[in-house]
Structure 1
């Protein structure tokens, strides 16, 4: 005799055999799998932007390199006209690698965490651009500022001594310019990565490198020209002669770029 419990057990087995098997993870659709994942598990990939947008976003690279090229071609000869020796003037350039070592990583971290309504990179690029403009004015008008602060009253064409106050203003502006350039350069590269999609990275890097080359060409060409004081004669005065006029005009043009 078959007990009632055996009948119930056979009924459950038949029901289990007739029911469809549970869906496996391999048979589920991609939408079902993604719906079960946390939102943090699927990162947001940058959308593709037009080539015009990438070209315009890379123009900041040309401006930065234009300033770097002017620094290399004009600033070391000019600091020597203020009476600073060649050996000491080389130490001034230490600010560039030092600020690059410290400023770019810090600015990169801060910009990644930035929650401004203007974006993560634009506030730092804007702040760096303001600093560049201020530093360029300090450098270009260092001789004039030194003259006002009490440097020699002798005409710049005949005075051969050291203009200490002008040199101090120049060095402050020089270091501030290095700081500002490094503040702009890191977020500018990060902005390019934010705007370009995965399949646009190669083209975006090529455009960025092209703008850097354009900035270098224009900067070194501007620094090699010794006619700035003739094109802008009103920039020279008793404290600022030809070398100072060339520097002042070239950097003012760089600010307007």
Structure 2
């Protein structure tokens, strides 16, 4: 048996560099897609349902890619083939997205773009678990946070940079639907995405399966953690059937209730999602009854039911953290332009000025995240990983809620510093805590399953925030940001109950 060797700073740099490109794609999407939707005619309360493509794609793609990458080993490696394929597809999607002629084509392209980004992104989380020993994991995920922040700073600000530095038009001209500044930003983003991911692919070598097996054996021998029992799919069969029927019936009854009451159509996403999960459990039960337990669906569902205790606890933290983030990404443009700039006219110069400023605000929180990323391991060493994450989430919650009382758009930069602190920690601390509780041979699968607790709150947000904004908030998007701030504070309280099994 042998211990996983520590890597040098530049080795960790190279293996994380691809996240620079991945975040170019996500930042352009997050800062500009609502703007593209509104420009193409979407109403403010319709935007969440249009965004549903992103979380649904992640829910489907990430566990599949994680499971596949766990079982992959060829001359290109274990995770790296997925980095490359996803980068090529995502770059193509970024080139096409700003040329969308209609709203629904733009929504379809968002689906394509998010699926491609997820193919690249999911294995990167497992990559850190594969390559780094426990004492370097926090640094490894912090390095990813640094590149995410750095990439997002530039990508979020690109339309503003093109407009103010290079005099590129920021308004819709005759015969066009999307401003030229936005188009050029997406073109540049596609190129950066591909180049950055290929840098990691060609500069980093992966450990072969036999080495990973030896590292895992040494980890088990030296660990004091109690290994939780694994329940087989056969023993889980009654639960598959019982829970499958409960979810399926709940989904059907929920859909009928929404139809009968005439509620908002986006609520169907929630009811249909529940019913679909119930159907998946019943299909898994059928496969298990037939003895067909060695297929991807049954294996992933069985692993879901066997989640380590730490992962279950972190699921609560992730749920409230990502609900808040999705509320911010969806509603920042509408909240800032209407609540602070005082306009909802998407064709006006004032609206586009406000939309560009949102890009700067997104660049601010990502830039600050990049700066504080390497302070998080220090704060975690002084306190603990849990306490460091809780402090960051509190700062983020206060920052996001403060949008309501700020009147000067320039002062929102201060609010975004708190959000940036939370963002840096959200991208690193949960994964650093989680990885120590996961078996190496299922690292990709569990990272994909862990994404459920990022995606489910986003689906919930897309399902209910439009309803809340229209019915409860009377069209005032600013209240969605206040709700997001409260959600981050709940996440901060929840993290203190997490069991960090190998805090160094």
TM-score under structure 2 length normalisation: 0.35
| Counterpart Cα distance in 2 of 1:170 and 1:99 | 15
**Residue in structure 2 matching 1:252, options 166, 178, 187:** 187
Shift of 1:91: 0.8
Match of 2:60 in 1: 102
Q: How does 1:81-230 map to 2 (within 5 A)?
A: 81-143=39-101, 166-225=102-161, 227=163
Please give the alpha-carbon distance, in whole angstroms, between the structure 2 residues aligned to 1:202 and 1:126.
Answer: 25
Structure-to-structure mapping, 1:63-78, within 5 angstroms:
63-78=21-36
Q: Per-residue displacement from partner, 1:87-127 (whole Å, max 9, x unpaired)?
A: 32321111222122221111111001012211111111111
Report the Cα offset of residue 142 of structure 1.
1.8
Give, in whole Å, the separation in 2 of the partners of 1:93 and 1:218. 23
The answer to whether the Cα contact below 8 Å between 2:6 and 2:133 also exists between their aligned partners in 1 is: yes
- Using a 3 Å threshold, how does the CA distance of structure 1 residues 98 and 45 change in structure 2: closer, same or farther? farther
Query: Contact conserved, 2:31 with 2:156, CA < 8 A, in 1?
Result: yes
SS in structure 2 at match of 1:67 = helix
Label 1:94 to 1:228 Cα distance change in 2 as closer, same or farther (>3 A): farther
Distance 2:26 2:175 in 1: 26
Change (3 A) 1:93 1:76: same
Distance (Å, rounded) in 1 between the aligned partners of 2:145 and 2:161: 25
> What value does the CA root-mean-square deviation take over the aligned residues?
2.5
Aligned equivalents of 1:198 and 1:125: distance in 2?
23
In structure 1, what is the Cα distance between the partners aligned to 2:19 and 2:164? 24
Confirm or deny: 8 A CA contact 2:53 2:107 kept in the other structure.
Answer: no
Comparing 79-88 and 126-135, the one that deviates more: 79-88
Distance between the aligned counterparts of 1:88 and 1:193, measured in 2? Answer: 39
Q: Distance in 2 between matches of 1:239 and 1:76?
A: 21
Greater RCO, CA 8 A, separation 6+ = 1
Displacement of 1:217: 2.0
Structure 1 contact 228–245 (Cα < 8 Å) conserved: no
**In proportion to residue count, which structure has more helix?**
2
C-alpha separation in 2, matches of 1:105 and 1:89: 26
State the 1:132 CA deviation: 0.7
Unmatched runs of 5 consecutive residues or more in structure 1: 1-41, 144-165
Q: Which residue of 1 aligns with 2:235?
A: none
Q: CA deviation at 1:170?
A: 1.6
Q: Secondary structure at the match of 1:118?
A: coil
C-alpha contact 2:98 2:182 (8 A) present in aligned 1: yes
Count of residues in Structure 1 that have an aligned counterpart in Structure 2: 190
How far does the alpha carbon of each residue in 1:114-154 deviate from its partner, in whole angstroms, 9 at most, with x for none? 122111111111111111112112212223xxxxxxxxxxx
CA distance in 1, matches of 2:174, 2:90: 26
- Aligned residue for 1:239, secondary structure, equals coil
Alignment partners' CA distance in 1, 2:161 and 2:46 = 26
The DSSP-based 3-state class of the residue aligned with 1:115 is: coil
| Rounded Cα–Cα distance in structure 1 between residues aligned with 2:54 and 2:181 | 23
- When Rg is computed on C-alpha atoms for both structures, the one with the higher figure is 1
Q: Give 1:250 deviation, angstroms.
A: 0.5
**Aligned 8 A contact 2:173 2:179 in 1:** no
Provide the residue aligned with 1:3 in structure 2.
Answer: none
Confirm or deny that 1:59 pairs with 2:14. no
